[in-house]
């Protein structure tokens, strides 16, 4: 049985990967937290900081996984803008440390990246479009992509965006934040000028495993199939969950005065992954319905 390593095992995507890979691999997962969120028993968990070079190289070298799924990152774009060095340490140096470990033995490296490497003026984007990040977060993720491409031959760079889904205990994402806010009757101001292709984490996890199992190489966009703005995402949540008397106001991004610039007209084209492997991705409505079912099953 092949061994895989998942970084960021307590994140949404890491948790979904853990869930999807059960019974198919020997699984080693690492995260900053003391204990795992996933409660299954068929994996090994280690508390390790990917910025600690000697520790991460020692651990990866010990297990010599056949594949590393690198989902760990500092993804709070405003925090990245405020704490640039921290963002570079985690997103760039952390990736570099993992790559150095993987160079010591045969290993596939699957690196999660983002639409934020683009400027958001002409989306949706294909894998061949020219990157032009407008934020520190985007700059760090583009630099980490370059490090992967320049130092490894056996790699997959999987770009995704607006990752959403439900897993008990994980940090809230845009969809679960909306659900909670609407349940609590909060007044919501949601932007109408940020467009993207929201991605169900379950779909993304399944796509990553398929790319690995099919021996894919190179860059693939692993994102939802529907281009939509944030305001209309909120409307879909409201309709599917049948929330009544929700206060939902449309605003523009510049009214939020956020620290980091946003790529407004974004989105990722998924023609390549569909044509080569036939991997399916959910519409937003399908994804939210699935999230609703998962939430109800844990009550």
Rg value, the chain, Cα: 19
- Looking at every residue in the chain, the average pLDDT score rounds to 97
6: tokens are 């998942």
Question: Tell me: the pLDDT tens digits for 89-112?
Answer: 999 999 999 999 999 999 999 999
Residue extents of the structural domains in the chain:
3-167+200-223+267-282
pTM of the model: 0.97
- What residue has token string 């790699």? 155
Q: Which pLDDT value is given to residue 37? A: 95
Asked if 262 and 227 count as a contact pair (C-beta separation under 8 A), the reply is no
Cα 181 from Cα 194, distance rounded (Å): 20
Q: Which pLDDT value is given to residue 245? A: 85
Q: Which pLDDT value is given to residue 298? A: 85
Question: Tell me: the pLDDT tens digits for 283-298?
Answer: 999 999 999 999 999 8
Lowest-pLDDT range, 133-137, 217-221, 242-246, 293-297?
242-246
Beta partners for residue 249, in sequence order: 189
Position 229 pLDDT exceeds 90 = yes
Question: Tell me: the pLDDT tens digits for 244-264?
Answer: 889 999 999 999 999 999 999
| Residue 244 CA, distance from chain mean position | 31
Beta partners for residue 188, in sequence order: 248
Q: Is the peptide bond preceding residue 124 cis, with omega within 30 degrees of 0?
A: yes
Cα 173 from Cα 209, distance rounded (Å): 22
pLDDT band at residue 140, thresholds of 50, 70 and 90? very high
Backbone angles phi, psi at 15, to 5 degrees: -65, -40
Q: Which pLDDT value is given to residue 42? A: 87
**Between the CA of residue 237 and those of 70, 177, 299, what are the distances in Å?**
30, 11, 19
Mean pLDDT, range 210-236, rounded to an integer: 98
Task: Please state the CATH superfamily assignment of the domain spanning residues 3-167+200-223+267-282 in this structure.
Answer: NAD(P)-binding Rossmann-like Domain (3.40.50.720)
Cα 281 from Cα 124, distance rounded (Å): 16
3 state DSSP class of 30: strand
Mean pLDDT, range 216-233, rounded to an integer: 98
Question: Tell me: the pLDDT tens digits for 169-178?
Answer: 999 999 999 9
């Amino acid at each position: 049985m092949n061994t895989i390593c998942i970084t960021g095992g307590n994140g949404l995507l890491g948790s979904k990967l853990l869930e999807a890979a059960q019974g198919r691999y020997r699984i080693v997962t690492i995260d900053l937290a003391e204990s795992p969120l996933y409660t299954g028993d068929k994996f090994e968990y280690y508390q390790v900081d990917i910025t600690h070079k000697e520790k991460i190289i020692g651990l990866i070298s010990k297990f010599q996984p056949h594949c590393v799924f690198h989902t760990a990152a500092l993804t709070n774009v405003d925090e990245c803008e405020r704490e640039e060095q921290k963002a570079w340490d985690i997103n760039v140096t952390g990736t570099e440390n993992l790559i150095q470990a993987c160079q010591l033995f045969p290993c596939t490296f699957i690196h999660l990246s983002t639409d934020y490497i683009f400027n958001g003026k002409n989306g949706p984007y294909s894998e061949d479009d020219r990157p032009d990040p407008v934020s520190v977060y985007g700059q760090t993720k583009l630099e980490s992509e370059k490090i992967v491409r320049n130092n490894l031959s056996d790699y997959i760079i999987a770009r995704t965006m607006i990752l959403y889904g439900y897993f008990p205990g994980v940090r809230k994402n845009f969809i679960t934040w909306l659900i909670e806010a609407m349940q609590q009757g909060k007044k919501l101001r949601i932007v109408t000028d940020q467009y993207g292709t929201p991605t169900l984490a379950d779909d993304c996890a399944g796509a990553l495993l398929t790319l690995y199992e099919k021996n894919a190489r190179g860059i693939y966009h692993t994102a939802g199939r529907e281009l939509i703005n944030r305001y209309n995402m909120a409307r879909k949540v409201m309709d599917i969950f049948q929330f009544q008397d929700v206060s939902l106001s449309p605003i523009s991004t510049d009214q939020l005065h956020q620290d980091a610039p946003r790529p407004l007209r974004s989105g990722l084209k998924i023609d390549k992954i569909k044509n080569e492997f036939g991997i399916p991705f959910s519409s937003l409505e399908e994804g939210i319905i699935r999230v609703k079912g998962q939430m109800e099953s844990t009550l």
